[in-house]
Chains A and B, each alone.
Chain A
Amino acid sequence: MNKTISISRYNPEQDSQPQLQTYQVVSEHSTSVLDALLQVQQQDPSLSLRWSCRMAICGSCGVMINGIPKLGCKTFVRDYPEQLVISPLAHFAVEKDLIVDMSPFLQHLSAVKPYLINAEKSLQPHKQTPAQLAKYQQFANCINCGLCYSACPQFGLNPEFIGPAAITLAQRYNLDSRDQGKAVRMPQLNSKNGVWACTFVGFCSEVCPKKVDPAAAVNQGKVASASDFIISMFTP
């Protein structure tokens, strides 16, 4: 079946702003939006986009599809019988065509010290029961695709907001029974660009392709932050 799709094109060396361009692609039942984009790239090699795994795990291929952030490889052309418009992820600076500047996202991730902090030296594995694992497991499933930042109105207004994925990652380690680094992560989460910048819209969790539920992580972060605050009031 032939299908017309529109793609936002932008070449910073030529264009003053992005423009939509339409293309014809052949769509079968299993054709993903990524497949369609790669068909277009075969017709027009100047189209730039990021992708690699085509199985929804590497987190490269996030784009706006009819205005909603989605993974191109996990979204199917068949589900868009009407129009299909593909543009770069919102709230990030566009570099070229569908490629955005991911460096703010990486900076925010790095800022929350997303690694296990535990001074104990040992050659033995920790024990961790399935219940302890379950406490943070979901938050460990983030593929860093950035869709939640495109969905987050706060990040759109304030790019300094560390955002849903970074808060989720901080929580992932804070909740890990093996970790002792919560105290060093909390100042970041408590800061004005931390959890309190979130106005709880919840769209981040809706668009998450991995059901990580960043909104829940942010909420838990708020509870932790609040109790942190109360404790600090009562400890001399």
Chain B
Amino acid sequence: MQLLQKDIIIVGGGGAGLRAAIAAAEAAPGLQVALLSKVYPMRSHTVAAEGGAAAVTLAEDSLAGHFQDTISGSDWLAEQNVVDYFVQHAYQELVQLERWGCPWSRKADGTVQVRRFGGMKTERTWFAADKTGFHILHTLFQTSLRYPTINRFDEYFVIDLLVVEQQIAGVLAIHFKTGQLVQIQAKSVILATGGAGRVFHYNTNGGIVTGDGMALAYRHGVALRDMEFVQYHPTGLPGSGILITEACRGEGGILLNKDGYRYLQDYDLGPVTPAGQPKNNYMELGPRDKLSQAFWQQQKLGLTADYQGHAVVYLDLRHLGSQHLTQRLPFICELAKAYVNIDPANSPIPIRPAVHYTMGGILTDINCHTSIAGLFAVGECASVGLHGANRLGSNSLSELLVFGKVAGEQAAALAQQTSLVPVSAIMAQSKHQQTSISSLFGNSSESMVAIRTEMTQAMEQGCGIYRDNNGMQRCLTSLHNLKSRYARLTVSDSSKVYNSALLQHVELGFSLDVAEAICRSALARTESRGAHQRLDEGMTTRNDRDFLQHSLALRQADGSTAISWQAVTITSLPPTERRYGAAAHSPANSNISQLKAAQEKGLQHE
């Protein structure tokens, strides 16, 4: 085992981890930062984000507007103080990225261009063509090269956190290239490990998005918050789940069922807007949860088409014209050509919902601090409280930046005040892990692939777009069986160098823990809110009396999950009904006066 000491460890080289690393290096140039990632940072899944990053930009927009859209998008389960901080700082973070060289798309006069996005009432989404995440990630990675105190540990796979009496002491990692176990001590640790979309069968996520950080924290007694809220993106490619960005609809794309009918008008999102003239919050620019749910309804009615065995509807971009498409959506044209052999200028693209984003995650306060002293979490793995029951598209890239900076600065401040936990206090834990890793090798009749596939299918069936008690109970039973099979599973390949089988084995263990937290939280929430929709009698609507609360999944000593509840912070916008399309403007909606009140409370642009 190799033993190292640093001041700050950041686990994850995606947008959140890199932003945190830069912030820490700038805040405390005297501290040594270790940036660990199981893949080279520019392979992190932030790279796949297409659409854009939100911040109040236009003169006619307001911070109150972004605040309201986010809260209402969250179905009132966002932490309002966190949203307030977020909307106030998002713009400056996008400018910071611009100053670091991000190639944002521009207007003719050279100012930054913003586009429409679902659930946002005004154009406020910055974009770099349709490769926003790619450009953000590469800009951050390249900028990080300027800081000599950022020590990269590429292809280091973290398998455990070292914790002594509720105080973080470091991490344990496997160096993928050599198979060597590495113990790194640090005064503060930031988890920035991304989401858990791979827990589901059909998803828009990369193979590495297996929920590792969530499980790492959960196993040490940190609560996972709001795990039942899993976002289905309405437009993934059939089979692969590859994402076709929402920006397609922002640009004017329309959704058609098998009869060529714009079915969204039947689900409280109308009236129909003319093709190519999108209107914020109407039809195709409604929020993701509503759109994915409408697909499910259409499928029930037999109105979806078939694409190689998958139920699909169509995303029609033809009316936008080939020139506009190649300019604004070049990556989409490339993906459609490569993976479904379609030129979007000539034919509609077959699409269907796919799991996209985990709204829930590691519980943190507004400073990204968890319940373990010195342990921080940020980005998709965390629940700082921005997204509640449903994330608005383009809020999470901005989140990585705004809270990545917070996490980096907070971790640096803390590291400057504390000293390392003595190595003697952690050696036993490290040795124990070393023994359990070496005991994994051998031959068993269980198959890793079988367990993984059964898990993702159980989640898809039990915790999908619509859920009911029986389905979730079945899912939970399967997960328990899979966990006991996992306990018997061994790793047949005992080689040291780049042992993929070992990594996948450990990842599967993380995923199973996260899956159980999702299923348990979903069972406990006996109402429907945002991305969590139940079919059971008496549970099909939102129930603020009992459930205007966050769920907290806590691991028990026996390995089971217990659910408790936490109040939601509401500062200025009390819950009202969530409405889109024309319904948002009907007199029944008492939203307006409260929105006005929030506006008057002074949420003005800084």
Contacts and interface: CB of A to CB of B under 8 A. Distances in A.
Nearest to B111: A127
Which of A45, A49, A141: most chain B Cβ within 10 A? A45
A60 B40 CA distance: 9
A115 interface: yes
A20 interface: no
Contacts of A58: 39, 42-45, 47-48, 206
Contacts of A95: 177, 497-498
Contact of B103 (A30, A50, A113, A133): A133
A52 B207 contact: yes
Nearest to A46: B493
Interface string B511-532: 0000000000000000000000
A125 B112 contact: yes
A209 B492 CA distance: 35
A115 B101 contact: yes
A187 to B, nearest CB: 17
Contacts of A201: none
B98 interface: yes
Interface in A19-35: 28-30
Interface in A109-138: 110, 113-116, 118, 122-130, 132-133, 136-137
Interface string B468-495: 0000000000000000000000011101
B142 A144 contact: no
B39 A13 contact: no
A115 B242 contact: no
Interface stretch (A156-164, A171-179, A192-200, A214-222): A171-179
B111 A54 contact: no
Given A46-B495, A52-B206, A129-B109, A123 B500 contact: no
B100 interface: yes
A106 interface: yes
Given A46-B492, A53-B48, A125-B95, A59 B42 contact: yes
A48 interface: yes
A42 interface: yes
A87 to B, nearest CB: 16
User: Which of A41, A57, A114 gathers the greatest number of chain B CB atoms within 10 Å?
Assistant: A57
A57 B449 CA distance: 25
A184 interface: no
Residue of A42, A53, A99 with highest tally of chain B CB at under 10 A = A53
B419 to A, nearest CB: 32
Interface in B221-266: 239-240, 242-243
Contacts of A41: 500
B98 A13 contact: no
A152 to B, nearest CB: 20
A203 interface: no
A52 B208 contact: yes
A95 B500 CA distance: 13
B493 A126 contact: no
A55 interface: yes
Contacts of B504: 45
Contacts of A144: 40, 42, 138
Interface in A80-125: 95-97, 99, 102, 106, 110, 113-116, 118, 122-125
A56 interface: yes
A74 interface: yes
A143 interface: yes
B101 A51 contact: no
Contacts of A46: 492-493, 495, 500-501
A49 B500 CA distance: 8
A224 interface: no
B135 interface: yes
Contacts of B109: 127, 129
A178 B112 CA distance: 14
Contacts of B501: 45-46
A96 B496 CA distance: 10
B350 to A, nearest CB: 12
Contacts of B499: 48
Nearest to B112: A125
Contacts of A60: 39-40, 43
B97 to A, nearest CB: 9
Contact of A126 (B39, B99, B145, B335): B99
Nearest to A58: B43
A161 B341 CA distance: 38
A58 B138 CA distance: 10
A173 B493 contact: no
A50 B493 contact: no
A140 interface: yes
A173 B145 CA distance: 14
B103 A137 contact: yes
A226 B216 CA distance: 54
B35 to A, nearest CB: 13
Counting chain A CB atoms within 10 Å of each CB, which of B92, B206, B340 scores highest? B206
B500 A30 contact: no
Contacts of A122: 99
Given A48-B498, A99-B498, A114-B142, A30 B131 contact: no
Q: Which of B95, B492, B500 has the largest count of A CB atoms less than 10 A from its CB?
A: B500
A126 B98 CA distance: 7
Nearest to B140: A115
A55 B236 CA distance: 12
A6 interface: no
Contacts of B338: 56, 74
Given A54-B206, A130-B106, A102 B334 contact: no
Given A50-B39, A55-B335, A106-B40, A125 B111 contact: yes
B39 A45 contact: no
Contacts of B39: 50, 52, 58, 60
Nearest to B39: A52
B47 A136 contact: no
A190 interface: no
B497 A13 contact: yes
B134 interface: yes
B308 interface: yes
B48 A30 contact: no
Contacts of A140: 103, 135, 138
28 contacts: A13-B495, A13-B496, A30-B308, A42-B449, A46-B500, A46-B501, A47-B500, A54-B240, A54-B242, A58-B39, A58-B43, A58-B48, A58-B206, A95-B498, A97-B498, A106-B40, A114-B145, A115-B101, A116-B99, A122-B99, A125-B111, A130-B107, A133-B103, A137-B129, A140-B103, A140-B135, A141-B131, A173-B101
Interface of A: 11-14, 28-30, 41-42, 45-60, 74, 95-97, 99, 102, 106, 110, 113-116, 118, 122-130, 132-133, 136-137, 140-141, 143-144, 169, 173, 176, 178-179
- Cβ-closest 9 pairs across A and B: A127-B110, A116-B101, A52-B206, A45-B501, A46-B493, A96-B498, A125-B98, A48-B498, A58-B43
